[in-house]
Amino acid sequence: GEDVEQSLFLSVREGDSSVINCTYTDSSSTYLYWYKQEPGAGLQLLTYIFSNMDMKQDQRLTVLLNKKDKHLSLRIADTQTGDSAIYFCAESYSGSARQLTFGSGTQLTVLP
Amino acid sequence: KAGVTQTPRYLIKTRGQQVTLSCSPISGHRSVSWYQQTPGQGLQFLFEYFSETQRNKGNFPGRFSGRQFSNSRSEMNVSTLELGDSALYLCASSLVQNTEAFFGQGTRLTVV
């Protein structure tokens, strides 16, 4: 079955690293995504990883994928107050992004 | 390059009415997907169109329908509105065989 789970809340101090976790159940997932949503806004694509990769780094963002445990994480280095938002992980099956299954989102709060 | 444009941004409708929402994809993108976001159910896939044909459909009643025009713009329609249809409706566009989906700002529908 298709199910993506995330913890609901995370608080960190400005300048620290944030790690947002996600678990998924469908082993046939081909791409896994991280999106950011700020209040009153749509979803912003942050990064994605192909399921045959273990890690992807993009500036302050590092994505780790553990296929055996079906665990995905997003690490944000040097977290800033502007990073405060809801972060969603999502998976697709078809090799394209046309139909995504989203987790419930993690509210990241960055404290000064 | 313009992003995904959704109109209107906000709508207030009465129970029993119908509503039409519009989405203009990024230029060159032929696939448009629609999602419903509510506090209780999170982000759920509604349907996806390309080449003016519905390709995939989520688990929503027949009151939810859509279409796509030859210029790739898409509309979704909800008939006989219920209070539970109050949500943020998001559309995403992508190239047909592509790993990235880009979202619009959404239409906030309130049913009273």
* B43, B60, B91, best to mutate vs chain A, most A CBs in 10 Å: B43
The mean of the pLDDT values for chain B is 95
Is B33 an interface residue toward A (CB < 8 Å)? yes
State percent of chain A over pLDDT 70.
Answer: 93
Report the residue of chain B nearest A94, measured CA to CA. Answer: B97
Nearest to B101 among A97, A103, A104 (CB): A97
Instruction: Return the exposure string of B61-79: e unless at least 16 CB atoms fall within 10 Å of the residue's CB, then b.
Output: eeebbbebeeebebbbebe
CA torsion sign, A100 to A54 to A46 to A69? Answer: positive
Residue range A7-36: mean pLDDT, rounded:
91
Report pLDDT for B30.
93
Nearby residues of A40 by Cβ (< 8 Å), 6 or more positions away: none
| Alpha carbon of A95: minimum distance to chain B alpha carbons (Å) | 7
Report pLDDT for B37.
97
pLDDT for B56-72, tens place per residue?
899 999 999 999 999 99
CB-based contact B104 A45, cutoff 8 Å: no
Residue range B41-46: mean pLDDT, rounded:
95
Report pLDDT for A25.
81
What DSSP character marks residue B25? P
- Whether pLDDT at A76 is above 50: yes
- Whether pLDDT at A87 is above 70: yes
- Whether pLDDT at B40 is above 70: yes
d(CA B112, CA A95): 40
Residue range A65-77: mean pLDDT, rounded:
94
pLDDT for A28-51, tens place per residue?
778 899 999 999 889 999 999 988
- Whether pLDDT at A26 is above 80: no
